[in-house]
A and B are shown apart, each in its own frame.
Chain A
Amino acid sequence: MADVALAPSLAGRYTQAQLRNAGLFVLSVLGIYVLQPAMPIRQMDFWLPTAALLLAVVVWAATAAADRSARALIADGSGIAVVLLGIAGTRYIEPLSTLFTRTLAPDVLTVLLALAFGGAVALLIARLIGPRPGWTWGVLAALVALLVALKVEPLTQALAGALRAWQGQSVAAASALDVRWLGFSYLFFRLVAALRERAAGRLPRMSLREFITYALFAPAWIAGPIDRPERFLRDLRADFCFNLADSMEGGRRVAVGAFKKFVLADLLALFALNEVNALQVRGAAWAWLLLYAYALRIYFDFGGYSDIAIGIARVFGIRLPENFSRPYLKPNLTQFWNSWHISLAQWFRAYYFNPLTRALRTRGWPAPAIILTGQLTTMLLIGLWHGVTWNFAIWGAWHGLGLFIHNRWADFARARAMPEPPALQRALGAALTFHFVALGWVWFALPDPALAWRMVATLFGL
């Protein structure tokens, strides 16, 4: 099948890859503004995406391996400035004033000052941290602190109060719901991946534009998948011309994803378990029905988003990693976590679990203790990443302990050279695994432990 360019290069001066990359850069920067919902605090739909952009620039500057040739830097920096000033400029053109932001953007002078501030911070970071890989820990710590501030309700409320004070709004009315920073959780993973790869000496040289495109990549901005910088860069730098086969495959994934998300998941959402119907449900059989609906809904919702992201990226020649692989059909919990939110599990494996278990091994810990500590704390962190609440912690612990028990059982079976289980046993394993996961969703779906316990009791007719 021959690939034929569908659009000629602009005046023959640029390759399609160059045009695609420039387009992805602009779309990704614009995308974070377009996707950010409005908030009760004024102009946060402009400032939070701008902060995301600044974080990406700072992390790029902190990685000494970054490509900082003056000419490219000026071009890329100018590109960012032009896009930001363009967004701010829409406030003066009435029909376009809310084209990129939900509310009016700040005036151009304020944005110019912000650009100058961001540039100065990036320069400072580049000078201070760039040549000292060990200092990337400082940036990492700052990112973690910001994540914690956004996930711990009292801290988020305090942050909301500070932002309200800055905008001259009532601090007393501050609420944790005031700060809904769309995409930050996934930005965090990508930036930390870059910092850790840099510390390990594996981060390839990236221009500012390439790094911004990686960190803010529009299709994956809301819900991943979480790509790794070197893999993303490989696709970004590969030869590219619009390829009908890839476009068709991308379109198919988008269609499948849209069906999963907007038909199946949204329909299941109508009767999936939630904090209201958990109190209303009459009897165990109905409670299981609501829980099954929740389990399927969360899969189709998240899987649908991932399909859409992977499909859109594919059209542009970027092959994002797969995020789901029939997780509910897996015969054990270990395989479930190898096929559910795969890119998240791999991120934690690469940047937390493996370093931790290596460290514990060098300290002479026994294998079971290493496995228990590694799996329990990994799953606790994944739980708390969704929100710092008891329920998410219990959900994480439930899976951590489940993984540990399965690991011990697998070791036991291996040691006795037990044969591969027959099909029926595998099917039973899949059913058992699904129900283990589904029971975990009770903690995930409901906001407090008392309600979750009550639901568990209802499920078992207690």
Chain B
Amino acid sequence: MNRCSLARILAKTLAWFVLFNALFAWANTPDNAGVSALGQLSLYNALWPGRLRLPYGDDPGRAYNISLYSLEAMFASHVVSSRPSVEFRVFLIGDSATWGWLLRNEETLAGQLNALGLRAPDGRPVRAYNLGYPIMSLTKDLLILRHALRHQPDLVVWLVTLESFPSEAQLDHPIVRHNAPAVRAMIADYALRADPNDPRFVTPTLLERTLVGQRRALADWLRLQAYGALWGATGIDQHYPERYEPAQRDFDADLRFRQFTPPELPKSALAFDVLDAGIRMATEAGVPMLIVNEPILISQGRNSHLRYNALYPRWAYDAYRAMLRAHLAQGQARYLDAWDSVPQAEFTNSAVHLTPRGVRLLAEAIAPAIADLTARR
């Protein structure tokens, strides 16, 4: 073997490496379509039991859960993707309050609705699926709804709060920015006001679509599969700290909500277009929708005459509630305003995160509306 052989071997290796990456990038076009498709391959619902909520984890080593951008992989790991049995399928969409921050699966809204043992008039058991995700953005909710409708829901319950509405923040979140093709499609299909060329969208370059460029996404997908073993073995999908900082009850005399000051909270600054798109999407799929204004902490601490909680000054939240009620009065979707249905003692570490008892109160508030909608279905 001589220097020519060495040069030939190195050249061949390099050529194979480049060719393989180029083929991968080609298969992964446009916009990571290949890696997205790979996400549908999953050990969940086969080797491991499906997850009861979408994967999300800041501390994977302790939560046995991981955050990733592939909605396909997220849904493939969820029990909602398993073969549906004879049941009335209720999909819950919303933020971290719906996902169940600091709550075990049986304590979440989905868990507690299931514990109520509701039945549809035709005798089918009502089964609630937790499709919440710990990010406050209606566009994120819409993205999840779009995927969720592939899984044959009989009813969608969409829990919203003012913090999910500001238009300028809709695209701030990584999961939205990294799912640019799907969000752009929704912008086009539903004439959303968001800019399809918004620089916050992540559009992978050719190099980023190669195997080397996608190594993080592929590793996350692999790790999601591996953590499935521990999810199955322990039933744990979240790290529960022994202590947490309770939600703020005393406030400065601050009347601002984001960049807005009283009395102006323009409706145009809120993403009602996204809300309308969600309603239309469900309607087109023939699925009724219940929109719930989720409970918030109504504090009785210092300056609570000015603010309900750390998130919302009273004037802004009241204006939002009035706008939401008026907007939904046209009746395309059933609306339930549950904003004050949970006492302040039943909030944990934020203005929207509930204790198990708080969730129970919310479940009991929502259950009659669900029962009513099952009758109409």
Q: Which A residues are closer than 8 A to B by beta carbons?
A: 1-4, 6, 244-245, 248, 267-268, 270-271, 276-277, 280-283, 286-287, 289-290, 293
Q: Are A286 and B1 in contact (CB under 8 A)?
A: no
Closest to B222 in A: A267
Q: Which residues of A contact B181 (CB under 8 A)?
A: none
Q: Are B233 and A282 in contact (CB under 8 A)?
A: yes
The one of B9, B226, B234 in contact with A282, judged by C-beta atoms closer than 8 angstroms, is: B234
The answer to the question of B3 belonging to the interface, with a C-beta cut-off of 8 Å to chain A, is yes
The one of B3, B9, B62, B233 in contact with A271, judged by C-beta atoms closer than 8 angstroms, is: B233
The answer to the question of B230 belonging to the interface, with a C-beta cut-off of 8 Å to chain A, is yes
Given the complex of chains A and B, what is the CA–CA distance between A244 and B1 in angstroms?
A: 7
Closest to B223 in A: A270
Closest to B226 in A: A270
Q: Closest 9 A-B residue pairs measured CB to CB?
A: A286-B233, A271-B229, A280-B234, A270-B226, A244-B1, A271-B230, A281-B233, A4-B2, A267-B226
Q: Are B3 and A289 in contact (CB under 8 A)?
A: no
Q: Are A271 and B1 in contact (CB under 8 A)?
A: no
Q: Which residues of B contact A280 (CB under 8 A)?
A: 233-234, 236
Q: Are A4 and B1 in contact (CB under 8 A)?
A: yes
Q: Which residues of B contact A248 (CB under 8 A)?
A: 9
Q: Are A281 and B229 in contact (CB under 8 A)?
A: no
Q: Which residues of B contact A244 (CB under 8 A)?
A: 1, 5-6
Closest to B235 in A: A282
The answer to the question of B190 belonging to the interface, with a C-beta cut-off of 8 Å to chain A, is no
The answer to the question of B213 belonging to the interface, with a C-beta cut-off of 8 Å to chain A, is no
Given the complex of chains A and B, what is the CA–CA distance between A158 and B339 in angstroms?
A: 60
- Least distance between B366 CB and chain A CB atoms (Å): 30
Q: Are B227 and A2 in contact (CB under 8 A)?
A: no
Given the complex of chains A and B, what is the CA–CA distance between A290 and B232 in angstroms?
A: 11
Given the complex of chains A and B, what is the CA–CA distance between A268 and B1 in angstroms?
A: 39
- Least distance between A156 CB and chain B CB atoms (Å): 26
- Least distance between B358 CB and chain A CB atoms (Å): 26
Closest to B1 in A: A244
A4-B233 in contact given A267-B222, A270-B227, A271-B226 (Cβ < 8 Å) = no
Given the complex of chains A and B, what is the CA–CA distance between A293 and B228 in angstroms?
A: 13
16 new A-B contacts at CB < 8 Å, known A4-B1, A271-B226, A289-B233: A244-B1, A244-B5, A245-B1, A270-B60, A270-B229, A277-B233, A280-B234, A280-B236, A281-B233, A282-B233, A282-B234, A282-B235, A286-B229, A286-B232, A289-B232, A290-B233
Closest to A286 in B: B233
A6-B3 in contact given A270-B223, A277-B234, A281-B234 (Cβ < 8 Å) = yes
Q: Which residues of B contact A281 (CB under 8 A)?
A: 233-234
Q: Which of A4, A270, A286, A290 has the most CB of B within 10 A?
A: A270
Given the complex of chains A and B, what is the CA–CA distance between A4 and B6 in angstroms?
A: 11
Q: Which residues of A contact B236 (CB under 8 A)?
A: 280
Q: Are B229 and A289 in contact (CB under 8 A)?
A: yes
Q: Which residues of A contact B235 (CB under 8 A)?
A: 282
Q: Which residues of A contact B5 (CB under 8 A)?
A: 244
Q: Which residues of A contact B3 (CB under 8 A)?
A: 4, 6
Given the complex of chains A and B, what is the CA–CA distance between A2 and B222 in angstroms?
A: 44
Given the complex of chains A and B, what is the CA–CA distance between A56 and B166 in angstroms?
A: 68
Q: Are B230 and A1 in contact (CB under 8 A)?
A: no
Q: Are B234 and A6 in contact (CB under 8 A)?
A: no
Closest to A280 in B: B234
A6-B6 in contact given A271-B233, A281-B233, A289-B233 (Cβ < 8 Å) = yes
- Least distance between A137 CB and chain B CB atoms (Å): 47
Given the complex of chains A and B, what is the CA–CA distance between A277 and B64 in angstroms?
A: 10
Q: Which residues of B contact A293 (CB under 8 A)?
A: 229
- Least distance between B223 CB and chain A CB atoms (Å): 6
Given the complex of chains A and B, what is the CA–CA distance between A283 and B234 in angstroms?
A: 9
Q: Which residues of B contact A267 (CB under 8 A)?
A: 222-223, 226
Given the complex of chains A and B, what is the CA–CA distance between A290 and B234 in angstroms?
A: 11
Q: Are A277 and B230 in contact (CB under 8 A)?
A: yes
A287-B2 in contact given A267-B222, A270-B226, A271-B226 (Cβ < 8 Å) = no
Given the complex of chains A and B, what is the CA–CA distance between A5 and B223 in angstroms?
A: 45
Q: Which residues of B contact A290 (CB under 8 A)?
A: 229-230, 233
Closest to A3 in B: B1
Given the complex of chains A and B, what is the CA–CA distance between A148 and B62 in angstroms?
A: 34
Given the complex of chains A and B, what is the CA–CA distance between A423 and B42 in angstroms?
A: 36
Q: Which residues of A contact B230 (CB under 8 A)?
A: 270-271, 277, 290
Q: Which residues of A contact B233 (CB under 8 A)?
A: 271, 277, 280-283, 286-287, 289-290
Q: Which residues of A contact B223 (CB under 8 A)?
A: 267, 270
Given the complex of chains A and B, what is the CA–CA distance between A248 and B10 in angstroms?
A: 11
Closest to B230 in A: A271
- Least distance between A425 CB and chain B CB atoms (Å): 30
Interchain Cβ contacts under 8 Å between A and B, 17 examples:
A2-B2, A244-B1, A270-B226, A270-B227, A270-B230, A271-B226, A271-B229, A271-B230, A277-B230, A277-B233, A280-B234, A281-B234, A286-B229, A286-B232, A286-B233, A287-B233, A289-B229
Q: Which residues of A contact B6 (CB under 8 A)?
A: 6, 244
Closest to B61 in A: A270
- Least distance between B334 CB and chain A CB atoms (Å): 39
Given the complex of chains A and B, what is the CA–CA distance between A2 and B1 in angstroms?
A: 6
Q: Which residues of B contact A4 (CB under 8 A)?
A: 1-3
Q: Which residues of B contact A1 (CB under 8 A)?
A: 1
Given the complex of chains A and B, what is the CA–CA distance between A283 and B222 in angstroms?
A: 25
Closest to A1 in B: B1
Given the complex of chains A and B, what is the CA–CA distance between A283 and B232 in angstroms?
A: 10
B227-259 toward A: CB 8 Å interface, digit per residue (1/0)? 101101111100000000000000000000000
- Least distance between B1 CB and chain A CB atoms (Å): 4
- Least distance between A192 CB and chain B CB atoms (Å): 38
Closest to A290 in B: B233
Closest to A293 in B: B229
Given the complex of chains A and B, what is the CA–CA distance between A271 and B225 in angstroms?
A: 10
- Least distance between A260 CB and chain B CB atoms (Å): 15
Q: Which of B62, B64, B233 has the most CB of A within 10 A?
A: B233
Given the complex of chains A and B, what is the CA–CA distance between A280 and B6 in angstroms?
A: 53
Given the complex of chains A and B, what is the CA–CA distance between A349 and B5 in angstroms?
A: 44
Closest to A244 in B: B1
Interface residue ranges of B122-144 to A (CB < 8 Å): none
- Least distance between B50 CB and chain A CB atoms (Å): 16
- Least distance between A286 CB and chain B CB atoms (Å): 4
Q: Which residues of A contact B227 (CB under 8 A)?
A: 270-271
- Least distance between B228 CB and chain A CB atoms (Å): 8
- Least distance between B155 CB and chain A CB atoms (Å): 31
Q: Which residues of B contact A289 (CB under 8 A)?
A: 229, 232-233
Closest to B233 in A: A286
Closest to A283 in B: B233
Given the complex of chains A and B, what is the CA–CA distance between A373 and B9 in angstroms?
A: 55
Closest to A267 in B: B226
Q: Which residues of A contact B9 (CB under 8 A)?
A: 248
Given the complex of chains A and B, what is the CA–CA distance between A281 and B3 in angstroms?
A: 57
Q: Which residues of B contact A276 (CB under 8 A)?
A: 62
Given the complex of chains A and B, what is the CA–CA distance between A277 and B215 in angstroms?
A: 28
Given the complex of chains A and B, what is the CA–CA distance between A248 and B6 in angstroms?
A: 10
Q: Which residues of B contact A282 (CB under 8 A)?
A: 233-235
Given the complex of chains A and B, what is the CA–CA distance between A96 and B226 in angstroms?
A: 40
B70-95 toward A: CB 8 Å interface, digit per residue (1/0)? 00000000000000000000000000
Given the complex of chains A and B, what is the CA–CA distance between A282 and B233 in angstroms?
A: 6
Q: Which of B1, B5, B62, B227 has the most CB of A within 10 A?
A: B1
Closest to B66 in A: A270
- Least distance between A202 CB and chain B CB atoms (Å): 37
